[in-house]
Structure 1
């Protein structure tokens, strides 16, 4: 999806709407062989800006699941991943 000078591996990123715990979030372009680098929970006014990387897993192509305890409904997720080789 993208490259960055000095970063040896292609990566992807997306901003998607948040949701309830346990719900999957569609993340276009992510695949099960990819590795999550960051999942950031951000509110529209940027008051909320928290890493939830430990709470999310890639569960299928174009899909991550919130296995944690934080409801992100009404906010956004910034998802960054390393693409599989």
Structure 2
């Protein structure tokens, strides 16, 4: 298991399902898409709508495209493995 990233700060959080451990499955609050006090992720950094996250439960690190705000171009999504050619 990876250690927590040095950028991990409880003051910068996001509520996105972890693709590795899916620890929020079955949580009534998360299923209603509300802010849950148990199943949040560290928001390590962001670049426009691209979030860099770490799960505090399993320490998995991943990138998530929100699709909100300044989104990536189709080509940038393909390069970053977030879209299809």
Task: Using structure 1 for the length normalisation, give the TM-score.
Answer: 0.29
Structure number with higher helix proportion: 2
Higher relative contact order (CA 8 A, sep 6+): 1
When Rg is computed on C-alpha atoms for both structures, the one with the higher figure is: 2
Which structure has greater strand proportion? 1
